[in-house]
Structure 1
């Protein structure tokens, strides 16, 4: 069989990462952070456990990236939905409603995300977060800010505070009350955006997240072989390493360590083929 082209291998790697992001969002939303293992995420994505460690340093980083993807794509969808508008007040209203809508519609996921930000490692910068920041900065600028560098962090803080207040166990504040306060601060009419008594796109009951994650099936133009959507591989290849090389499913490529997929616990270290020595320590895989 002829080898796949470099462009197809690159597409497979991209889609493999997309599946991991989508699986992380789905599982943490269903079970919570602690009850979701990296092995669970790999299984849901149809990927080898080693691919998770190749793309992400740990579970916390993977989940933060996945939630930031969901946030930035939700925000982007809200800002660009029909009828499209350049009006700064309407765009600010849509932005507020999009973020509060995530707290309302995906409370488990967003509660776990907020809790993760309060951990020792705190906020983990990533490309997904940067895209979210760009959209919010643009929203602030279009709303008429004269000092975006000061007003953007304030909007971010207010939105994070509102999400936190909506999700505090036992004493959550109603989303409409939080919306009213934010709308008052930014001098927005209640009818702008998506008022709580209306149903907007991607609102309650929308469980299909596939539109936010490009996980379709590419075809190798050189060989004409469709790749498998569940595994990212062609029919005669079991596992696709990010470099295009078939590998054992449970090898951690970042450390050369074999990992038990059932427990996410490292087994006896294997030899690091890059150095000819055993790795110094296993990767951190705790929740």
Structure 2
């Protein structure tokens, strides 16, 4: 019996997601320049022809990954509630992403800052400019509600601090003290103390951060 159009569409999307997941894994192991479409195809368990149909080159793979990353940022920002509730939700959303998808965060960070892939990120940002402006304006409105003297600077600093946290967590992996950092951010922004922890367990004491040869 022939598959329905919906079933075919679902299978195509499943194949695309397998390819993207494989690309993230290979980029994490070998970097953008060291990765090949052949290796990504093998890791995904799909034919080279199918992979090339969706993504004829690595550039398009990176474009898709960064596009999804920016959509994820937008989803974290677009939460309801008071200004304080929204700010707490943004902090928790970013830190939960670290706990749940730390290797992915590290790969995305590398793709953003590497000289060979940063121009692709710039292209994605330019294409998503309208959405990014809405994100920036939403954050600035949040800080306006909180009585900030310069909401634009507050928006830039929040993003800078959170991106710095992502960078450090990507470098130091599971030893990075996510929960103590969360509590520090709540205090810095004078938010009510969080109830419970993101991981559901009490964090270990903070130690000195040292990079592992094995990474994360």
Fold shared per TM-score above 0.5: yes
Does the alignment pair 1:20 with 2:16?
yes
C-alpha deviation, 1:38, in angstroms: 2.5
Question: Would you say 1:169 and 2:172 are equivalent positions?
Answer: yes
- Give structure 1 regions of 4+ aligned residues with deviation exceeding 6 angstroms: none
How far apart, CA to CA, are the structure 2 residues paired with 1:21 and 1:161?
28
**Within 2, Cα distance between the matches of 1:51 and 1:175?**
40
CA contact (8 A) 1:183 1:189 kept: yes
Q: 1:41 to 1:74 in 2, by over 3 A?
A: farther
Contact in 2 for aligned 1:20/1:41 (Cα 8 Å): no
1:196 to 183, 195, 198: 198
Counterpart position of 1:235: none
CA displacement, residues 156-206 of structure 1 (integer Å, 9 cap, x when unaligned):
2211100111222379431112212322332222327x842549xxxxxxx
Secondary structure of the 1:120 match is coil
Mapped partners of 1:66, 1:160: distance in 2:
17
Please report the RMSD computed on the Cα atoms of aligned residues, expressed in angstroms: 4.1
> After superposition, what is the alpha-carbon deviation per residue over 1:23-61, rounded to whole angstroms, capped at 9, x for unaligned?
32455258725285434555638562433455xx634x5
CA distance in structure 2 between the partners assigned to 1:75 and 1:190 by the alignment: 25
- Normalising by structure 2, report the TM-score: 0.60
Alignment CA distance shift 1:191-1:91 (3 Å): same
Give the corresponding residue for 1:51. Answer: 53
Cα distance between partner residues in 2 of 1:166 and 1:144? 26
Tell me, what secondary structure is at the counterpart of 1:187? coil
Highest Rg: 1 or 2? 1
Q: Identify the structure with bigger relative contact order (alpha carbons < 8 Å, sequence gap 6+).
A: 1
Q: Distance in 2 between matches of 1:154 and 1:141?
A: 11
Please give the alpha-carbon distance, in whole angstroms, between the structure 1 residues aligned to 2:52 and 2:173. Answer: 39
Scaled by the length of structure 1, the TM-score of the pair is 0.48
CA displacement at 1:79 relative to structure 2 = 4.5
Q: How does 1:1-287 map to 2 (within 5 A)?
A: 20=16, 23-25=19-21, 27-29=23-25, 32-34=28-30, 37-41=36-40, 44=44, 48-54=50-56, 58-59=58-59, 62-63=61-62, 65-70=64-69, 72-73=71-72, 76=75, 79-80=78-79, 85-121=80-116, 122=118, 124-125=121-122, 126=124, 130=129, 133-134=132-133, 136-145=135-144, 147-169=150-172, 172-191=175-194, 195-198=197-200
Q: How much does 1:96 deviate?
A: 1.5
